[in-house]
Each structure stands twice: as structure tokens, then as C-alpha cells.
Structure 1
Amino acid sequence: MSTQTQTETIVLQSRASHEATPAEHELENEHENEHEILQHSPPVPKWLYFKVLSAALSFFVAGINDGSLGSIIPYVIRTYNIGTDMVAVVYATTFLGWLIAALTNSPITKNLNLGPILTLGASLQVLAHILRVWEPPFPLYCVTFFLASLGQAYNDTHANTFISALPSAHRYLGFIHAMYMAGCLVGPFVATAVASANAEPKWALFYLFPVGVGVLNLVSVAAAFRDRMVRSPVVRGEGGERSALREIRDTLSTPGVWLVSLFFFFFLGAAITASGWMVEYLVVVRNGNVKEMGYIPAGYFGGGFLGRLILAEPTHRLGERRMIFIYAVLCVGLQLVFWLVPNIITEAVAVSLLGFFSGPFFATGISVGTKIFAPEIRSSAIAFVFVLGQIGGSVFPALTGIIAGKVGVQVLQPMLVGLLGAAGVSWLMLPKDVALHRD
């Protein structure tokens, strides 16, 4: 990423020097300038489309894991005979995984190339799903969420960083994040179908599906990024450690990093809280049938999938700052409909539209972040933003479960309205003096 920026600098400097030459040499200098641009253009990564598809598959796997939890939670509560407050432990271990990833990200990137990091992340996710298949004791089941979140952090964060450095990255980002929503869409269908197939629920057998897709993801990242398995020789030692610490310090001292992270903290807090507790809310508060309500999150994720595909380009062209805020206002309105209209069909439509208009949030946030962050901290900054956002996606669902254990799961609705409103306000706080349409 820094190499690309340096190349852009070389091109701009070349243009500036040619503009200063006498007029009679303009045509000759124009040819030289074109040659300079071509000579210094950033090389297209080897197997580019294979790498993009591999990154998309990584997000699809993560989507299956995250999207299925809301449909599985009612069965987890009844199988392990626990209250909603104990479900908070699942989100707490997820939080721990993302936190450990945040603390270890910089040292890992200094010592491992992209290929091993992606492979490690994919392997941890496969291990987590294998442990779940045999319906383990509840403490071990919670531990699997630590492994899964740690694996997602390494796999998805660095796949995301790779994609964000490509030319016209907003299009690729829209695609890979749409694949995450596709995984979230498929997850509830498969989970609910498996869990409701027998008189005595065999919900844990659902995890055979993410095991299979996870193995495919592991093979995919290992093959697509095989040219990035070995890091070029560098001088290691105290200087390298100081460099890692300096990068962390520079990242954390950049206000833009915290502002972008705040947006993701609230947005993912809302998204994962909604997907995690929606089914239990409809079953308990709206008296819905658990076997039917398990499919309602599919409408939310289906809307998100279409939103990420359809709205990515209009959002980029019409103005990212303006459009994301408009979407946030629409999302708050739709959430109020979900809260105040006690009709399951109306609520299903509202959450589908909520998913559609919130679809561009993630990819657009990452795209804007790459233009705000300085090149030398961009990789660690995106990783930090990604991880802090996922921490919000762990804290708020856990907090919802704890409060629900005392006052009831209806607390979901004011929680979501507050989180979506906070996401919209935090978006307006991003720096304004940045060229948000620079490719």
C-alpha cells in the first residue's frame, strides 16, 4: 500500500516537472509523461480475480457463522437450560477473540506474510466449527466463539486490507461484503432447517455445513495467496520491534482512526444485536413459532446482500457522506416501525428494508477510511477499525442479553434505535477535508 502511494507520488512529480518545460517540447514531454506513468503504475497482483474470490469466500464463511447465531440462540437457551443473560458469555468470548487479535495484529504482520495470516485465520474457524458439531458442554461451546472470532479477525481483516488497496476498491469491497451478507442469508435457512427437522432438535449438526465451507475457504486462501507465503528477508531485532510499536502509536494517535472506529462500533453493534436477538424477540414478545421465526433474519440479511450490491456505486457517485447519513435516518425510521407495529409480516418487511439500506455501511466506511488514513499506518488502522467495530458487535449483544435477563427481551428495540442513531451521528463526525471520491 505504501508502495502504491509512493508510485502515485512519482507520477505526480513527473507531471509537475513536465508542466514546467518550454512550450515547444510539450508534445515530446507528453509522450515521456505517458511512458513514465505506465512505467511506474502499480503492478496488478498475481491471480487478482482468484484472490478477490478467495477474499469473498472468507467473508461468506464469516457470514454463515454470524448470521446463523440468531436462529440457533433459542435452541441453545433451551438445550443448555440457561437464561438470556448467560448468552452474554457467547458474546463475551467473541469480544475476547477480537481483542486478542487487535493486540497481536501488528507483531503478526511484522513477522508473517499475508498468506500465512489468512491461512491461520481460516484454520481457527474450521477448528471452532468442528468442536461445535457434537453439541459440546456450554463452556466449551462458548470457547469456540473465541476461536471463531480470532480466526475471522486474522482472515477477514487482512483480506479486507488487501482488497482496500486495489484500484477502484469500493467496487471490490462492495462485492466481498455482499458475500458476507450472502453467508448471513444462507446461515439462518440451513440452521433452522436442520434444527427443526426432528422432534428433538439436532441443531448442532448444522455446524457440519460451516465445517465444509470452512475447509474450502482454507484451501482457497492457501492456493490464491501462495505467492505471499514467505516474507522477503528483512532485518529483524530491536529495530523491527520499535517499528511495530511506532506504527501502533501512530495509529492510535490519529483522530481519524478513532472516529471511523466509532462509526463501526455503533453500526456493527446494531447489526449483530439485531441478528442475534431478533428471533428470540419475535418468539417471546410477538408469540411467533420458533420454527417459523428462524427464517425472519434471512429477510434482513437478504436485504443487506442486495443493498451491498446495488447501492455501492450510487453511494460512491452521489456522495458517500451524504448518502450514508440518509441511509442511517431511513434505518432509524424502519427500526421504529419494527418496534411500534405489532404485526409480524410488517416487521419482516421492515427488517428486510433495514438490511437493504444499511447494506453499504461497512464497505463505504472502509473505503472512506482508506482515504483518511496516512499510507504508513493504513494497514494497521484498517485492522484496528475492523476489530473495534467487531468489539462493538460483541459488547452490545451481550449487554442486551444481560438487560433482557432482568427486564425482558423487549429491550432489544430501544437498544437498536439508539445504536443506529449513534452510528448516523458518528458518521457526520468524520473529517470533511478529504477527497472522498479519490480512486
Structure 2
Amino acid sequence: MVSGVLSKTHHYRGDSQIQAIEEIELDTITAKDESVEQSTPQVSTILRNVENGTVPSFNGRYETAGFASILFFIFLMGWNDGTQGPLLPAIQAHYHIGFTIVSIIFVCYCAGFLAGSFLNVYLTNTLGFGKVIVLGAALQTIAYALQGPAPPFPLFCAAYCFSGAGISMQLAQAAVYVLHLRNSTLKMSIFHMTYGIGALVSPLSSTQFAAMPRWNFHFLISLGLGIINVCSLIAMFKFKPMKDIFGDGPIHVIQESGGSENHYLRIFKLKIVHIFAVFLFAYVGVEVTIGGWIVTFVEQKRGGGRSSGYITSGFFGGLALGRILFMWLNRKVGERRVIWLYLILAIGLEVTVWVTPSLIQNAVAVSIVGLLLGPIYPIVMNMMGRFIPHSVLSGAVGWISGFGQAGSAVLPFITGTMASKVGVQSLQPLVIGTMGIMLGLWCTVPNDVRRDE
């Protein structure tokens, strides 16, 4: 009989064998009690592992190293997204193209991201975490190898398809990995803060290269970082599926093997998936539109010079800082309510950028807008983990992220098209209107968390 009890259901994965089962009194397990084994799958799994001596251990040091590897990927994603704004004028000058044509790079990136997100559901169920995340890293690195020599514009655009697909695969896997870790709320904020750091650092480099004849050499730095990313992910995860990394513990590990039910159908049946997807479509669109077009806006409408590229760094720096700085406010006000506060303040500041013809004021306001927008993405990602069933979470996160990334193409492309017709001053009304749509969408997010496994 078993006289010990499980008084908790949320043990940490990274504990040692004794810690993982410390609340089961091992010395009182004298025989297998089939009635207890049949009570819950989690308890029976623990008992079998205790008897066989095969309780998996995901120790703290390995967890820290794995998290560091994931952080390097998200840094590189931020680096990639922060590159476009300062380089946009140089790309236009090199290829002799206008606003509409140069906006095609955003469309190609989005197309690749959507394709990768859609394939991610199938690939996760067939290949598993370790292989999919390395495949994504390899595709991203191939993109930088193509962009480095500044090839003809069609090939230059096609490279964005590779980077979009690769980043989408890595992002979905990385987000689910972080959700498995101890203190996942804090680590999710650090995860997205690191994206902002990458997007902050990248313009410091790309702004310098934009003033040089060999502006495309910036992508050689990206290529080197991409190679490091591939090697890091291989060395850390060794192509293993998620269950082999975390093992069978008292916490449910998201399964990667496909069942008889269609995973796509299960995901698309969930209303909350579509709400989150459309909301992130607008959010990512606003983020990339500001980061991609603010330099052109201040150069043409506020008399800014080549150093205007640093405004992009200010925006993404605010984005990174806000994801850590406002964690206390998120807890105090509540995650659902605080997003309304951030959006209302951000809209007010964007109005001042629109109507105030001051370069300094615009630069400061845009940085504060980044500060306010920063916490929104990690809050939404945390809420996904509470609303969406674990069995489809990886695929759902991939699809939501991919659909959201479509906003990074649609809104900047609309901005470029409108800039060709009426001027780049159309940037601010478009951004303000989209933020207003985000406010309306957030009202449809339910208060109660009810997740059926």
C-alpha cells in the first residue's frame, strides 16, 4: 500500500529525482496498489518511475543553459527586425526603387512566416522540438547568406521568405519551451525583453552600414550570428523532442506526437485562438511599422539626418525595458486591464508625434511608445498558456505568432503604398487607427480562464 500523498500538483521540472517526488514517502511504498495506479495517469507515472528508478532529471544547470540558448535565438530575431528601418533608404537607393516596391520585403517576410507557422503544426508532430528549431535556425542563416552579397532585388526579397519561415518555426518552439520552465512568467518577460535588446542593438550597426557604399555587409554580421545560433541549438538540445528534454514528471509535458484527431481542426475550433491571432496581427503590425518607417518619417517631415536611424534604437530599447520595468504594474493592475492602459497612453503619444513638428519631441515620444507597447506581447503569450489546451499549445502558438506576423507585412506595405500616394505623413494616422482596433479586440478577450485539456 501507499501511505504517502501528493499534496501539490505543480512540482518544478528542474528538480532532482528526490525533489521531484519529495512529497511521496518512498519508505512507505511497500507494494503496488493498482487502485491508486489507476486513479490518475500522473500518479501512476510517478510510481512506475520510482519503482524502475527512471525518474528523469532536468537539473537547474541544464535548464539555465537551455534558456540561454533560447535567449540567443530571440536576440537574433530582434536583431533581424531592427535592421530594416535604418537600411530602408539605402536599399531604395541601391536598387533604385520607391516606397511601394521596397515594401515587398515586408510581404516576403510575412509570406515565409505564415508558411513556417502553418508547417510548424505538422513538423512538430512528426519531427519534434529539437529538429524543428534547428531547421528554423538553418533557414534563417541561409537567408543571411543570400542577402550578404546584395543580389538582384527579387532574390534579395526571396531571402526574406527563408528568414520568415525559419524565425516562425523557432519562435513557436522557443515560446512553448519557456512555458515549461520554472518561473515561466518571469522568464517569458526576459525572453521578450531580449528580443527588444536585439532590436535595440541592430540599428546601432545598420545605421552605420547604411551610410557606407557596402551597406549589405551588415548581413554578414547577421550571417555570423546565425551560424552561432545553429551551433548553439544543436549542442544544447541535440535534436531531442520536448518529452526527452523534460521527461515524464508530475507536470504535464506538451505532447508532440500526433493523435487520431486533426490538430489543425482542434486549433481552429478554438475561438480564443482567433482573437489572439487578430490582436497580435495588429500589434506586430504597429511595432514593425513604427520601427520600419519612423526613420523615413523624421527624415522627410522633421528634417532629421542620417543619425535618425538611432530613433529606431530608442523605440526598441523602450520595448525591451518595458517588458521588465512594468512587471510590477502588470501584477498590481491585472494583465487584462493593464493592456487597456498601455494602449490608451500609446495612442495619446502617437497623436503628439503626428501633430508636433519637433524632431526631439517625436524621438522621445516614440521611445515612450515602445516602453508602453513592450509588455503587451509577453502578457498575451502568458495568457495563451492559460487559455489554450496543452495538447495543441505548440501548434496554436505557432499559428497565432504566424498570423500575427502577417501584420508586419500588411501594415508596413499599406504605409509604403500610402506614402507613394499622399506622403509618409500617413504613417501616424495608420498607427493610431490600428491601436484603436486593438483596444476593441481586447474587449472580446474573456475574463475567465477555462481550458479543456
Q: By the TM > 0.5 criterion, same fold?
A: yes
Separation in 2, partners of 1:126, 1:211 = 6
Separation in 1, partners of 2:201, 2:382 = 26
Match of 2:228 among 191, 200, 216: 216
Separation in 1, partners of 2:70, 2:384 = 19
Deviation, 1:421, is 1.8
Gap change, CA 1:346 and 1:107, over 3 Å in 2: same
Gap change, CA 1:344 and 1:261, over 3 Å in 2: same
Structure 2: unaligned runs, 5 residues or longer: 1-5, 11-22, 29-41, 50-54, 245-255
Q: Secondary structure of 2:378's partner? A: helix
TM-score under structure 2 normalisation? 0.82
Gap change, CA 1:11 and 1:298, over 3 Å in 2: same
Separation in 2, partners of 1:13, 1:213 = 40
Letter in 2 for 1:284: Q
1:23 is matched with none
Q: Is the Cα–Cα contact under 8 Å of residues 143 and 159 in structure 2 kept in the other structure?
A: yes
1:286 is matched with 302
1:139 is matched with 154
2:361 is matched with 346
Separation in 1, partners of 2:444, 2:66 = 34
Deviation, 1:99, is 1.8
How do 1:391-402 and structure 2 match up within 5 A? 391-402=406-417
1:226 is matched with 238
How do 1:292-311 and structure 2 match up within 5 A? 292-311=307-326
Deviation, 1:114, is 1.0
How do 1:260-409 and structure 2 match up within 5 A? 260-289=276-305, 291-409=306-424
Q: Which piece of structure 1 moves more, 165-174 or 301-310?
A: 165-174
Deviation, 1:404, is 1.5
Q: Is the Cα–Cα contact under 8 Å of residues 171 and 313 in structure 1 kept in the other structure?
A: no
Deviation, 1:374, is 1.8
Deviation, 1:156, is 1.6
Gap change, CA 1:44 and 1:328, over 3 Å in 2: farther
Q: Is the Cα–Cα contact under 8 Å of residues 117 and 165 in structure 2 kept in the other structure?
A: no
Gap change, CA 1:13 and 1:282, over 3 Å in 2: closer
Aligned pair count reads 400
Separation in 1, partners of 2:86, 2:294 = 9
2:269 is matched with 253
Letter in 2 for 1:171: L
TM-score under structure 1 normalisation? 0.85
Match of 1:113 among 128, 131, 135: 128
Separation in 2, partners of 1:43, 1:336 = 55
Separation in 2, partners of 1:44, 1:263 = 38
Letter in 2 for 1:226: K
Letter in 2 for 1:250: R
Gap change, CA 1:245 and 1:395, over 3 Å in 2: farther
Superposed CA deviations along residues 192-229 of structure 1, whole A, max 9, x for unmatched, are: 11222x4xx32101111111111111111111112616
How do 1:129-208 and structure 2 match up within 5 A? 129-196=144-211, 198=212, 201-208=213-220
Query: Displaced runs of 4+ in structure 1, greater than 2 A?
Result: 10-14, 30-33, 35-46, 165-168, 229-232, 240-245
Q: Is the Cα–Cα contact under 8 Å of residues 60 and 179 in structure 1 kept in the other structure?
A: yes
2:250 is matched with none
Q: Secondary structure of 1:294's partner? A: helix
Gap change, CA 1:123 and 1:426, over 3 Å in 2: same
2:252 is matched with none
Q: Is the Cα–Cα contact under 8 Å of residues 265 and 391 in structure 1 kept in the other structure?
A: yes
Gap change, CA 1:44 and 1:390, over 3 Å in 2: farther
Superposed CA deviations along residues 372-408 of structure 1, whole A, max 9, x for unmatched, are: 1122222211111111111111211112112211111
Match of 2:89 among 63, 74, 83: 74
Tell me the percent identity.
29
Separation in 2, partners of 1:58, 1:78 = 31
Q: Does 2:102 match 1:90?
A: no
Superposed CA deviations along residues 96-136 of structure 1, whole A, max 9, x for unmatched, are: 10121132122101111211111111111111111111111
Deviation, 1:64, is 0.8
Q: Is the Cα–Cα contact under 8 Å of residues 265 and 389 in structure 1 kept in the other structure?
A: yes
Separation in 2, partners of 1:262, 1:13 = 34
Separation in 2, partners of 1:364, 1:13 = 24
Gap change, CA 1:434 and 1:344, over 3 Å in 2: same
Q: Does 2:428 match 1:413?
A: yes
Gap change, CA 1:147 and 1:11, over 3 Å in 2: farther
Q: Is the Cα–Cα contact under 8 Å of residues 118 and 398 in structure 2 kept in the other structure?
A: no
Gap change, CA 1:187 and 1:403, over 3 Å in 2: same
Separation in 1, partners of 2:281, 2:449 = 22
Q: Secondary structure of 2:262's partner? A: helix
Gap change, CA 1:352 and 1:315, over 3 Å in 2: same
Separation in 2, partners of 1:329, 1:308 = 17
Separation in 2, partners of 1:189, 1:121 = 26
Gap change, CA 1:115 and 1:193, over 3 Å in 2: same
Separation in 2, partners of 1:373, 1:230 = 18
Q: Secondary structure of 2:64's partner? A: helix
Gap change, CA 1:411 and 1:127, over 3 Å in 2: same
Separation in 2, partners of 1:51, 1:242 = 25
Q: Is the Cα–Cα contact under 8 Å of residues 95 and 153 in structure 2 kept in the other structure?
A: yes
Separation in 1, partners of 2:440, 2:184 = 25
Gap change, CA 1:225 and 1:31, over 3 Å in 2: closer
Q: Secondary structure of 1:228's partner? A: coil
More helix by share: 1
Q: Is the Cα–Cα contact under 8 Å of residues 204 and 310 in structure 2 kept in the other structure?
A: yes
Q: Is the Cα–Cα contact under 8 Å of residues 107 and 244 in structure 1 kept in the other structure?
A: no
Deviation, 1:244, is 7.2
Q: Which piece of structure 1 moves more, 424-433 or 292-301?
A: 424-433
Deviation, 1:13, is 8.9
Q: Is the Cα–Cα contact under 8 Å of residues 113 and 231 in structure 1 kept in the other structure?
A: no
